[in-house]
Amino acid sequence: KLMKRLGHNKFYIQGGDWGAAIGATISKVYPQNVVAFHSNMCVSYHPRSMLKTFVGSFFPSYFYTPEEAERFLPFSKHVMWFLRESGYMHLQATKPDTL
């Protein structure tokens, strides 16, 4: 909306970190306006793979060999890591103008 208000009907997008997710969303919502999108942080979150990871964390034998399950289970270990290490994300979400 900002680019259109500034008078740009066609534009390029570049994003990394949170900008990667935002740029990907803008590209999907406004494909007629985005000429190209470049990201230096490409990630794919397919709903099926997310569901597999979630269900597999409770019932690993349904989806994974014991060796595969050992790499990421218990899932709570990863959740706790995220809670400890996501302070930067919390600051950006609540106080984006803070240096």
Reported as a single tens digit per residue, the pLDDT across 22-60 is 898 899 899 999 999 999 887 766 777 778 777 877 787
- Alpha carbons 17 and 75: distance in angstroms, whole number: 23
Nearest to 64 by CA among 46, 43, 54, 80: 54
pLDDT value at position 56? 76
Mean pLDDT of the chain: 82
pLDDT, mean of residues 67-92? 76
pLDDT value at position 36? 96
- Has residue 13 got a pLDDT over 90? yes
**Statement: the pTM of the whole predicted model exceeds 0.85:** no
Pick the residue with more confidence: 64 or 12?
12
pLDDT, mean of residues 68-83? 73
